[in-house]
Each structure stands twice: as structure tokens, then as C-alpha cells.
Amino acid sequence: MVLETHTVGPLQENCTLLHDGREAVLIDPGDEAERLLKSLKTKNLKLRAIWLTHAHFDHIGAIAEIRETLGSIPVYLHPNDNVLFENAHLAAQRWEIPFRQPTTKTLELKDNGILEFAGAKIHCLFTPGHAPGHCAFYVPSENFVVAGDALFRGSIGRTDLPLGNHQQLLESIRSKLFTLPDETVVYPGHGPTTTIGFEKQTNPFLL
């Protein structure tokens, strides 16, 4: 499995592309749909699905154009985030950022559910707090987790946004992410990569 990070949009969101040389999954395609589509085309990849860690507008802003171009690509999201998904355009307006509202119905991600791609099992970890339906995607065989906006290098996700919950986020990190092996590489929704072990030892929000 190949992992690529494409940092997109004015909020510099990290969109993750997973592929096996033939098929691909996009995690959190937040903006710059044309650039993401070009990457798929250049590598001759067929997009199989879109997985969302959560539904803030900066993580879903390319969905409408991608599906308009490629057809009815399934979009997976935890149902607790459906209200954010359906109203993302309102949040984008408050930030004065151009945004196309996706109209697709999402398919359900479940806590501890297993997704399969490129011969690997991807564990869906329910990590609410930054958003009520926030999930992370852990791939044990590849030793990485796509953590969305739960955990950053030296920081954690904001909880002052609508439906955020600070204590819930801390509990999610400690119970779902900090129980992963220390050497697990963390791919966050913004900023550089880190590891679980490094954050356990140094993250000031979690000491």
C-alpha cells in the first residue's frame, strides 16, 4: 500500500491518498479537486471510495467535484457527523471560503469496524471530541494511523467549534490512539507527521 499526502486549500488540510497501483481511496478530500483528480489520472488509479475522518468543510470541500467527474463514488462517514456534513456550507460561509456543498448520502462508518483495501485491514477508531462523529483509520500491517483532527504533532484538535467537546477528545486520544504501538506513525489532518510514542512523551495537552 502506498500513502501520499496532498496538502490542500486555504486551511492547509492534509488529504490522504491510499493506493495499490490500481485502485485508490481518498481520505478527507478537503479542497483542490482538480489537483486530486489529476493525481489519480496521472497514476491511472480508479477511485474506489472516499473515507472521512469528520465532516468539517475543510475536509470535504472537494467531494462534489470529484463525484461530478468520476461518478457516484461512495462516501463513508460516522453518522454522528451527518449534521456537520449537511450544514458544512454554513461553516464555510462564516470563514468566507468558497465551498461546494456535497449532496450525496453518506454510508456509515462504525466504531471498531473493519474496512479492507489493498489486501490490508483498516480499523475504524471512533475518536469524538473535535467533532461528534470523528474517526481515525488505523492500518496495523502498515504501522500508521490517519488521525484527522484529533491529534497533531505537539497539539490536539480544536474543541471550540460547534459540537466540540474537550474532555471527550482527551478521552478519545488516551483510550483509542495512545493504546496503539508507540512506533505507529500519525498522519494528522493538518501539519507534519508524528508518532504515538513521541506524542505520549511530549504533547503538552496530554501530559
Q: What is the pLDDT of residues 91-128, one digit of tens each?
A: 999 999 999 999 999 999 999 999 999 999 999 999 99
Percent of the chain with pLDDT over 90: 100
Instruction: Find the domain containing 58 and state its range.
Output: 2-202
- Secondary structure E strands in the chain: 2-8, 13-19, 23-27, 46-51, 75-77, 107-108, 114-117, 120-126, 135-139, 144-148, 151-152, 155-156, 185-188, 194-195
Amino acid sitting at position 180: L
Q: Are 120 and 142 in contact, with CB atoms under 8 Å apart?
A: yes
pLDDT in tens, 73-94: 999 999 999 999 999 999 999 9
Structurally, the chain folds into a number of domains equal to 1
Q: Is 128 helix (H, G, I), strand (E, B) or coil?
A: coil
> Would you say residue 189 lies in a domain?
yes
- Region 53-81: mean pLDDT is 97
24, part of any domain: yes
User: Which CATH number characterizes residue 19's domain?
Assistant: 3.60.15.10
Residue 207 in domain:
no
Count CB neighbours of 63 within 10 A: 27
Residues 186/145, Cβ–Cβ less than 8 Å: yes
Only one residue has cell 469496524, namely 113
User: pTM here?
Assistant: 0.97
Selection from 47, 40, 93 nearest residue 67 by Cα: 47
Does any domain span residue 35? yes
Residue 180 lies in a domain: yes
